[in-house]
Chains A and B, each alone.
Chain A
Amino acid sequence: MIKTIRRIPVAHYSNLKARTGYSIRIDDKEMALFKVSNGRVYALENRSSHPKGGVLSEGLVSGEYVYCPVYDWKISLVDGKVQAPDNGQVRTYKIEIEKDVVFIVL
């Protein structure tokens, strides 16, 4: 099967504020983009894996984690894993940064 890798420019790195989530819609997929305090940028599916989970872009960011704004699940921005005592996993997307442009790789 041939898979097309798409790289989509979504933001200017220098415009992103740390510890803030941005919601980005690419076609029908909604993603949350985060820049954390150490400068790294992460992208996740913009929904907690809780059955009634909230949009993550509005959640509180702490270190490399975001808290779901509706059910308060703690979710790793690095691998999307929900932290104990809850469990689950949110889909993550690869990020590439080139000359101040942030790309999401699909």
Chain B
Amino acid sequence: MKKLVMIGNGMAGVRTIEEILKLEPEQFEITIFGEEPYPNYNRIKLSNILQGDVHFDDIIINPLEWYKDNHIQLYTGEAVVKIDTKAKKVFSDQGREVQYDELIIATGSKAIILPIPGANKQGVTGFRDIKDCELMIKLANQYKKAAVIGGGLLGLEAARGLLNLGMKVDVVHLMPHLMERQLDHVAASMLKAELEAQGMNFLMEKETVEILGDERVIGLRFKDGSQIEADLVVMALGIRSNTEVAKNSGIYVNRGIVVNDYMETNVPHVYAVGECAEHREIVYGLVAPLYEQAKVLANHICGKETEPYKGSVTGTQLKVAGVDLFSAGEIHEDSTTKSIMVHNEYEGIYKKVLIRKNRIVGIVLYGDTKDSTRLFRMLTKQEDISGMTSVSILHSECSGAGNTGDDVASMPDDELICGCNGVTKGVIVEAIKTKGLTTLDQVSQCTNAGRSCGRCKPLVASILSHTLGNQFNEKAASKTSICGCTTLSREEVIEEIKTKGLTSVKEVMNVLEWNNEEGCTKCRPAINYYLGMIYMDHGMDDRDSRLVNEKMHANIQKDGTYSVVPRMYGGVTTAKDLKKIAEVAEKYHVPLVKLTGGQRIGLFGVKKEDLPSIWKDLDMPSGYAYGKTLRTVKTCVGSQFCRYGTQDSMALGIELEKKFERLDTPHKVKMGVSACPRNCSEAGIKDIGFVGIDGGWEIYVGGNGGVDLRPADLLCTVKTKEEVMEITGAYLQYYRETANYLERTSKWLERVGLKHVQEVLADKEMRKALNERLDKTLKKYVDPWNEAIQSKEIQDKYYMKHTIKVGE
């Protein structure tokens, strides 16, 4: 086997290895050196990590198992410091020496750090890798003011992330306009206005000359003598190729490591790919061209015929919430270009297409980027547009997905459709044909296309339409089906259940011709919920269609143990219950006893097989801390003891919890009851919150204190406890009947509108009917822990662990 060594463990390099493994899985013995202590991760998503949308684990592209499975020797946290191109050996900073037959340099790039006094102070960082992200998140916890130097793509994404982390952010930019390499001044000023509205402060045409402070940064000084304060400085001025090792080893380097159209350097058997490589005087920093390079290099190294890499035209978009922009090619008019422009100031939309000799050479879109995929294709394919009107160039929506059908037909199978995930047309067509896919959702789920930035979705839709031919139903394809197993939406499924009288999950999947006979984790719990909602009093719950926590009536923890949280109505307990909990914790050696966020006590790290006996010893009802149901009713002390309390919040909380506990709802529901507007129970961020006032209660709805932070809206004010119960019952039942499964009340309320819900609940007959249906439903529930203790069958099926010792 030939020895293949790669220096660098980033996206472009590892993609090359993936392509090689696809072509020639047995040809090479592969060694990879990576300076960062991680497997290959999706660097594009770093700004999402900073903005808090995703977690590090979610951006790993190739987990360590992948290296193991493919027999790749990976050295992380280890840099190669020298290459002996004559002896064909590399040397690492750990003194390791590895022989190669072929060597790929994929060292990527690093953030440019301004060579100004103070650049090495604590609190100054680039924005380039996990380490930088972690530092920024850490500093955001301790400090308030951040300055981002650089008003380009990276700088603005970093600034948005720092805003999300609660910092005040100044963006310092040398030029008069933001993103001047991608935007003209019109689009740039629209962008600036939007970002200012989001809370960024801009210092334009400022040249930073010094970073102030002793050991750690306290501010910046500019050329004009002015200063600002800053506890964190992020330099986002661009990237510089990592070329030291190549340069020191006699490989020709200009701005990057210079390569030809087959990614070969000037030294035989040494290649460069990715952000460290310079091809035809261009160093690319976006993922799509790097993946193209990876493909060419993989083919070349494996000795396959391949088209040379001829360079790429790249498109740019900004990953900042509330900003929709796209730019590609040239930005500024000159004497040889003609432009088509639309500037709708009222709606905040700006589109400009630059044309030279009947071909699109530049695109700038702001506010509406629906046309970006189609225009970008016209640009890269250099399509002749002389037959088109300016309206048809700028407006694709009127003609729908069909008009790109011809393009799709003539597109070669290996054309990259989704640059983010490297999905080609061929892969999509193959998936549609072999797996019988009919919706965009399904295609995304199966192939990953369109799952990252989403820009390719219109193109994926036209491939779907073209592949299915006249079986394609545009409306059906774009509608949101409840999962990949069916094309039916929630409304259609519910309608079918009612009209056909379907009564079990299995029957629904069968009669409605699910393409996946036994469903999946998305549809089965949803159907089970809808059935339980429609047939109020039937005991037809399909326990095996519930996900693990609800099936086990306990929360699964990351190591496969469970947690037990008994009910403590209104957060009120007794010495007797506390003793029982303490005894159970001791008897079963429970590793963690903790007060939960919902005013209860949780026992964590319980073994599955211990669950029934713990429940038996506790002799308390389940707190449903695991369920799509009423979780807790948090209360303050209220008028019983508190000098401010105007109402008996504990009593109301307990009554609410006792009435609505165990009720299946589309998603979890939390309540809070406060006895006065000081609101110690934080009722303003609960699904339903009650605030006592003199002579009555205010009822708040749609609050959320979690992922989707949202203050609650005042639904109404009532006088008596009876009215509270009536409104709450009607509100809950209306939510149960109209929300999508897994839709929290906050999202649901925004979708249907507060006013609409108020109108529904204002109708006395409607309230009565809703409450009747709810009360009928509530009758069917029993405590699940007690049920498990009584039933040997349930214990055997769900809680038994079979341990077999061999040789005993």
- A82 → chain B closest CB, angstroms: 10
* Contact of A92 with B by CB under 8 A: no
A62's contact among B516, B547, B548, by CB below 8 Å, is which?
A: B516
Q: Would you list which residues of chain B between 537 and 574 have a CB under 8 Å from chain A?
A: 544-545, 547-548, 551-552, 556, 558, 560
Given A60-B521, A63-B517: A27 and B806 interface contact (C-beta under 8 Å):
yes
The CA-CA distance from A104 to B63 in the complex, in Å, is 29
Residues of B within 8 Å of A87, CB to CB, are 66
- A43 → chain B closest CB, angstroms: 12
Residues of A within 8 Å of B548, CB to CB, are 54, 58-60, 69
The CA-CA distance from A87 to B806 in the complex, in Å, is 33
Q: Would you list which residues of chain B between 491 and 529 have a CB under 8 Å from chain A?
A: 516-521, 524
Given A67-B520, A69-B556: A58 and B804 interface contact (C-beta under 8 Å):
no
Tell whether, in the assembled complex, residue A25 and residue B802 are in contact, meaning their CB atoms are under 8 Å apart.
yes
* Contact of B446 with A by CB under 8 A: yes
* Contact of B763 with A by CB under 8 A: no
Tell whether, in the assembled complex, residue B63 and residue A20 are in contact, meaning their CB atoms are under 8 Å apart.
no
Q: Size band of the A side of the interface?
A: 35 or more
Q: Would you list which residues of chain B between 41 and 68 have a CB under 8 Å from chain A?
A: 57, 60, 63-66
The CA-CA distance from A104 to B274 in the complex, in Å, is 48
Q: Would you list which residues of chain B between 773 and 800 have a CB under 8 Å from chain A?
A: 797, 800
The CA-CA distance from A84 to B448 in the complex, in Å, is 8
Given A10-B802, A20-B797: A61 and B518 interface contact (C-beta under 8 Å):
yes
Known: A61-B544, A74-B520, A88-B66. 5 other contacts (CB 8 A): A6-B806, A27-B805, A51-B64, A60-B547, A88-B69
* Contact of B216 with A by CB under 8 A: no
Residues of A within 8 Å of B255, CB to CB, are none
> What are 27 sample pairs from A and B whose C-beta atoms fall under 8 A apart?
A8-B804, A8-B806, A17-B797, A19-B544, A23-B801, A24-B803, A24-B804, A25-B804, A26-B805, A27-B805, A49-B65, A51-B57, A55-B556, A58-B556, A60-B520, A60-B521, A60-B547, A60-B548, A61-B544, A63-B517, A69-B556, A70-B558, A74-B520, A85-B445, A85-B446, A87-B66, A88-B66
Tell whether, in the assembled complex, residue A58 and residue B551 are in contact, meaning their CB atoms are under 8 Å apart.
yes
Tell whether, in the assembled complex, residue B521 and residue A67 are in contact, meaning their CB atoms are under 8 Å apart.
yes
* Contact of B122 with A by CB under 8 A: no
The CA-CA distance from A70 to B64 in the complex, in Å, is 19
Q: Would you list which residues of chain A between 41 and 99 have a CB under 8 Å from chain B?
A: 49-52, 54-55, 58-63, 67, 69-70, 72, 74, 84-85, 87-89
* Contact of B747 with A by CB under 8 A: no
- A35 → chain B closest CB, angstroms: 12
Given A60-B521, A60-B547, A84-B448: A55 and B560 interface contact (C-beta under 8 Å):
yes
Given A60-B544, A63-B516: A85 and B447 interface contact (C-beta under 8 Å):
yes
Q: Which residues of B contact A (CB under 8 A)?
A: 57, 60, 63-66, 69, 445-448, 451, 516-521, 524, 544-545, 547-548, 551-552, 556, 558, 560, 608, 797, 800-806
The CA-CA distance from A27 to B352 in the complex, in Å, is 68
The CA-CA distance from A49 to B62 in the complex, in Å, is 12
A52's contact among B448, B520, B558, by CB below 8 Å, is which?
A: B558
* Contact of A22 with B by CB under 8 A: yes
The CA-CA distance from A44 to B517 in the complex, in Å, is 22
Given A10-B802, A25-B804: A54 and B560 interface contact (C-beta under 8 Å):
yes
The 4 closest A-B CB pairs, nearest first, are: A69-B548, A62-B518, A55-B560, A85-B448
B518's contact among A22, A37, A50, by CB below 8 Å, is which?
A: A37
Tell whether, in the assembled complex, residue B556 and residue A70 are in contact, meaning their CB atoms are under 8 Å apart.
yes
Given A20-B544, A24-B804: A58 and B552 interface contact (C-beta under 8 Å):
yes
The CA-CA distance from A104 to B310 in the complex, in Å, is 56
The CA-CA distance from A6 to B806 in the complex, in Å, is 9
- A56 → chain B closest CB, angstroms: 10
